[in-house]
Structure formats: structure tokens, C-alpha cells
Amino acid sequence: MSKNRLEYGLQATLGVPISAERDQDLAGQIRKLRVSFDGTPVLHQVDLDIPKGKLTMLLGFSGSGKTTVLRSLNRLHDCFPNSRIGGEIHLLLGGVWQDINGAPVDLTELRRRVGMVFQTPNVLPTSVIRNLSLPLSLTLRPPKSELQDRVEKALREAHLWNEVEHRLHRPARELSGGQQQRLCLARALALEPEILLLDEPTSSLDFRSTEAIEETLVSLRGRYTLVAVSHDPGQAQRLADTVAVFAEGRVAARCGPNDLQGYASLEAMIRSVMLAERSFNDSGL
Amino acid sequence: MERVVATLYAVAGIGAGLVGVALLVFLTAYSWPLVTQGHVGTVLSTTWNPNAGSFGIVPMILGSLTIAGGAVLIAFPAGLGICIFLNGVGPRWAARPLRAVVELMTGIPTVLYAFVAVFLLVPVLRNIAGGSGYSALSALLVVAVLITPTIVLTIDGRFEQLHGQLYLATVALGLTPAQRLAWVYLPAARNGLIAAMILGFGRAVGDTVIALMIAGNATHVPSSITGAVRTLTSHIALVLAADTQSGAYYSLFAAGLLLFLFVLLANIALRYIGSKERST
């Protein structure tokens, strides 16, 4: 049953239409996305829809291109002079659809609206509160009187307030790895993003910290559009609303989280998808 | 094999440490007669007149501090500015060759700086400020050029470390390069900045050739920055070249000891900063 659904997902992926009128339930549409580094292609013609207010999980092995897709959504590839990017990336930001890869874009504003949390916690070498208030005051520039409230709100959203309210002025690096990662999440949330990108946010954490982050992500789903990268099918089943399986720089399949059941491992699932792709191609459809 | 390598490292480390200790013992032992014979006051006076039995090295201490301090005052902001330019504020096409030039400057022999300054800088200062042009100002300007690469590379090393940890995170937060440098890198690199300043000072106070060739070598207390001065290093070089027996000769050990202590203090300060940085 699951395999059939995956195969169906594969066919759907290969036949994604480029619609002039975008679905109201979408927050993003990627079309024919190509990325290369030093002339070596990393992504090949990726098409992907990102549903609004849902958690889209990009699943795949290391090097399959999922992080590259994620970094295309906030134009982080611009930081690497050896990268080349082509195709269309339409995002719904501030109620307006923008092709962030085509038209001139205010990158500062784009990155504020499309927040990102990285694989390993990268807190600023300053206090807990300053980790949130500094980017907030530099980008959104709220009145000083609002700053404290916004910081508290973001820390509460990241389920961290109760653990840090008495040590807001202590160095952020004194926090545990899981707390630091939730601080990074809070830092991104404080900037009031519309889309939140999560690059394997639990891969460097222990079981308890992973659980805490996952609980936080579940609570954020619905209020934010989330795009997360993972190589753990179990995590995709627990968190995702939709799943895009990446292999060799392509979307090999798209499916729901329940379709992942029945596979012993990510490897087994991807092998099945690749087989399905081959038989699909061989059929000449 | 591992044990052999570890032993070699240990021997090298202990050997290097022993050289330092031996230097300190040697300089202290040879300076000691000045204490036992009651000549400390003579050495720590402002008059250098060996023929009259005055071996005061205070003018040279002041000369060293004027040139080293002045050079740091110029080189530190310049070095910091270059680092800021190299780390995101300046365009990539300009940053890369500039970094190469700074790295190249570290390998230029000191005597070349002094040699060029004799023909290019000294005449200009002579025309502007009068006198011979051989002055504390000439020397400190050239020493500033000499220590700028040291300062740049020290700060740049710290920035590079921060860059690896925080660059993408700050970009993803929407910070501009200027904001990233001003609000994240600079506060985080505070100890690195102090270390760069101390290293620069250590390099400047230890320079001999530039001071010898263009500071003027006058042995009186400097009254103006455009006046001629003599540093501790050039004093040792000059006296040693002409004298090996008199009381002046023995006062050199006190000068050497002071220089050693300056550098030692700078190193202790650096180690303190390093340990503080590791603990935060």
C-alpha cells in the first residue's frame, strides 16, 4: 500500500504543472530549481510545493540536495561565490507572491521573513537575552519598550522561557545543546518570520533535547510554514504534514508521513523509490 | 613511535623554556653588580654621560615607550580598519590582494623599511617639522608600518574563527556585513583586539634597526615627538659596538633586563587574555 502511494507520489512529482494562479493553500512554489557549485550540478530541475502553515519535510541521504533546496529559500547560496542557481522560487511573503530568484530582492528583509535554524546550535557569543534582542533591534527595530515583551514571547514559543527566565543575562553558551538550539529557534521566531527553515535541527542533540525540539515544532505548525530537513523517516512520520524524498539532487517522491510506514530504513525506502522511478521511466510514460 | 614524538616535543618545549629562563638569569646576574655596588640610582637617572660616570637609561626607556606606544596608536586603528575591510565591508576583488599584501609585509626585512624611510619619509618630515628629520615621529611612523601586519593577522585570525562559527547564522538573521562586524564580531573579538595590541607593542618595543637608523639616537629625554630619541634596543647595539669594559657596558644588562621584562609582561598579559577567552 505504502509503496503504491510512493509510486503515485513519484508520478505526481514528475508531472507538477506550473500554474499561473497559485493555490491559496501554498506558501511557496519551486520550479525547475537548479543549483551547481564550481560547475558541478547539485540540484536538477527540482519542483516542489510548500503548503502554508504545514511542516514540509525534505528527507534524504547526505548529499541528496535537501539542504541545498533549503538554502535556496533564503538565498543563502549568495554567500558562496562558486554557486550558480537557476529556476523559479516563488514565496508568499507579506501576502504577495515574489520570485525571490528572479526579481531583485531585499535580502535582509527576505531573510528576516524566511528564518532559519541550523544543524548545530550557533548562538551569538553573548547573553541569552542579547541573542534575541540584538538581531531584533537591528532588523525589525521595535520600540525599546516592546523589546522585552517580544523576547519573552519568542522564548515562550520556543518552550524555553521557564528554563532561562532567571538567567537571561548569563552567557548563552552556558545553556545545554538542546537549550541552545531552542534559543536559536526563539531567535528566528523573534524576527516574526512567515516561513521557518530547519536544517536537521535535532541531528546534534540527544534524545531528550530532540524530543523537546520536536514538541516545539509541533506547537509551531499551523502558525508558521515550516520546511525541515531530516534523514530520519521516523522523525518525518512524527512531525511532517508532507514529505519530499530527495535522491541524487532530485525530488524522487512526495508523500504523506503515513506512506513512510513499512520501510525498515531510509535506505530501504529510497531504494524502493528509485526502483519505482526506473520502472516508471522504462514504461515510457 | 608515539612515545618518541611525545618525548621530542617535551624536550623541545623544556629546551625553549630553559632558554628563556637562562636569558633571565644571565641578565639578572650581570645586572646584579649595579645593585650591590649601589649604581641603581645612576642607571635609573635621566643623564647618559659615561665620561662623567652617568649611565642613566631613562631617556632610552622613554624613547622606546614613545616609539612603541605611538606606533601602536597608529597601527592599531589602521590594522582594525584593514580587518574590517577584509571581512565583508570591502569588495572581494579588493580584499583578496590586500590580504596577500599584508601577508607579504610580514616577511619584508626591517632594514628595508628603515632604508626606504631615510630617503622618502625623513626628508618630508624635515621639511614639515624642521630639524634633521631623524626623530621619534619618523621612527614611530615606520614602526607602525612594521607592526600593522602583526595586528591585522592577529585580529583577522580571530575574525576568521568567528566567521566559521557565525557567518551563516548572522546572514540568515538578515544582518548586513557592517552590522555583523560592528555588533557581533567586534564585541566577540574584544580579547583578540587586546592581544593584537599587546603583540604589536611587543614587536615595536623590540625593534632595533628602524630606531637605530632613523630615530636620531639622542640620549636625552625626548622633549618633542619631532626630536631625536634613542631606544633601549638601539642603545644596546650602539654601546656594545664601541665599548666592552666600562660601567656603560654593564648598564646595558639593565637595559636588556628591562626589555626582557617588557616582552615578558606582554606575554603574561597575552596568556591571561587567552585563558580568559577559553573560559568564556
**Span A29-78, pLDDT tens digits:** 999 999 999 989 999 989 999 999 999 999 988 888 999 999 999 999 98
Question: Helix, strand or coil for residue B215?
Answer: coil
pLDDT at A17 (0 to 100): 43
Instruction: Choose the closest CB to A76 out of B168, B183, B184.
Output: B168
Closest to A184 in 3D by CA, of A115, A235, A253: A115
**Span A213-256, pLDDT tens digits:** 898 888 888 889 999 999 888 888 888 999 998 888 988 888 88
How far does A56 lie from chain B, in Å, by closest CA? 20
**Span A144-154, pLDDT tens digits:** 888 999 999 99
Instruction: Choose the closest CB to B188 out of A125, A184, A188.
Output: A125
- CB < 8 Å from A in window 178-207 of B: 179, 183-184, 187-188
pLDDT at A12 (0 to 100): 38
Find where cell 527553515 sits: A197
A130 and chain B in contact, CB less than 8 A: no
CB A198 within 8 A of CB A58: no
- Categorise residue B241: left if φ over 0, alpha if ψ from -120 to 50, beta otherwise: alpha
Lowest-confidence pick of A4-13, A256-265, B103-112:
A4-13
End-to-end CA distance of chain B, in Å?
Answer: 36
CATH code, residues B39-279:
1.10.3720.10
pLDDT at A199 (0 to 100): 92
pLDDT at A204 (0 to 100): 77
Percentage of chain B modeled with pLDDT above 70: 96
Residue to substitute from A108, A111, A124, interface B, most B β-carbons within 10 A: A124
Instruction: Choose the closest CB to B173 out of A79, A135, A173.
Output: A135
Closest to B154 in 3D by CA, of B205, B112, B109, B203: B203
Find where cell 618525548 sits: B7
On the question of pLDDT at B39 being above 50, the answer is yes
Find where cell 635609573 sits: B44
- Domains, chain A, ordered by start: 2-282 (3.40.50.300)
Question: Helix, strand or coil for residue B217?
Answer: coil
Domain locations in chain B as residue ranges: 39-279
By the 10 Å C-beta count (0-12 exposed, 13-18 middle, 19+ buried), B89 is classed as middle
Lowest-confidence pick of A2-6, A79-83, B130-134, B189-193:
A2-6
Residue A10's pLDDT band (cuts 50, 70, 90): very low
On the question of pLDDT at A283 being above 70, the answer is no
CA–CA distance, B137 with B127 (Å, rounded to integer) = 13
* DSSP output for chain A: -HHHHHHHHHHHHHT----SSPPTTEEEEEEEEEEEETTEEEEEEEEEEEETTSEEEEEE-TTSSHHHHHHHTTTGGGG-TTEEEEEEEEEEETTEEEETTTS---HHHHHHHEEEE-SS----SSBHHHHHHHHHHHHT---HHHHHHHHHHHHHHTT-HHHHTT-TTSBGGGS-HHHHHHHHHHHHHHT--SEEEEESTTTTS-HHHHHHHHHHHHHHBTTBEEEEEES-HHHHHHH-SEEEEEETTEEEEEE-GGGGTT-SSHHHHHHHHHHHHHHHHHTT-
**Paired strand residues for A60:** A246
Mean pLDDT for the stretch of residues A255-259? 81
Say yes or no: ipTM exceeds 0.85. no
